[in-house]
Amino acid sequence: GQSLEQPSEVTAVEGAIVQINCTYQTSGFYGLSWYQQHDGGAPTFLSYNALDGLEETGRFSSFLSRSDSYGYLLLQELQMKDSASYFCAVRDRSNQAGTALIFGKGTTLSVSS
């Protein structure tokens, strides 16, 4: 089976830096990805880490440590529009022939001015 743990809520102010952690447990690891979802919207893909280290994409960065089964999403220079839910996800093989993304329960980020 698989499980992912991430904080349920994080609050921060505009311009700050916030880190959302994710620990995972899977039967076979294929990489860690992050998705953003605004209220009433669809999840959108942010990043993917298959190897250890930091991947940077603009104000957002994602980190992975496979030995610790741990990753995080780092959001810099926070803006009000970053207020959303953030999900970590791993691809795992269930009892089925294929694999699909299994999502954590999400972290609600609230950015205030």
If binding is defined by CB under 8 A, does position 11 make contact with other proteins?
Answer: no
Q: By the 8 A CB rule, do 41 and 64 touch?
A: no
Q: Which of residues 66-95 bind other proteins (CB under 8 A)?
A: 85, 87, 89, 91, 94
Beta bridge partners of 38: none
If binding is defined by CB under 8 A, does position 1 make contact with other proteins?
Answer: no
Nearer to other proteins, 3 or 13 (CB): 3
Residue with tokens 């609600």: 108
Q: How long is the chain?
A: 113
What's the helix, strand, coil split of the chain in %, to 5? 5, 60, 40
Nearer to other proteins, 16 or 50 (CB): 50
Residues at the contact surface with other proteins, assessed by CB under 8 A: 30-31, 33, 35, 37, 41-45, 48, 85, 87, 89, 91, 94, 96-103, 105-106, 108
